[in-house]
Amino acid sequence: MSLPATLRAAASRLADAGVPSPRHDAEVLAAFVLGVPRPQVALAAARGDVLEPG
């Protein structure tokens, strides 16, 4: 699954759970898992880049 698709799926699940900022929180979680700063996740998702855990 691509990073943008993963973020969309995570944001959807978080929204369904009532999280007030689902997209931001999905990016924060992805950044933690990947070991990169959140802005790098957002930029990579916007560009369609692939991020590997670092």
- The pair of structure tokens assigned to 1 is 């699954």
Q: How far apart are CA 28 and CA 47, in angstroms?
A: 18
The mean pLDDT values, 10 residues at a time, for the chain of 54 residues are 90 98 97 94 90 74
- pTM: predicted TM-score of the whole model, two decimal places: 0.88
Q: What is the DSSP letter of 35?
A: T
The predicted pLDDT at position 50 comes to 79
**Sequence-ordered alpha helix ranges (H) in the chain:** 3-16, 22-34, 38-47
The predicted pLDDT at position 35 comes to 93
The predicted pLDDT at position 54 comes to 67
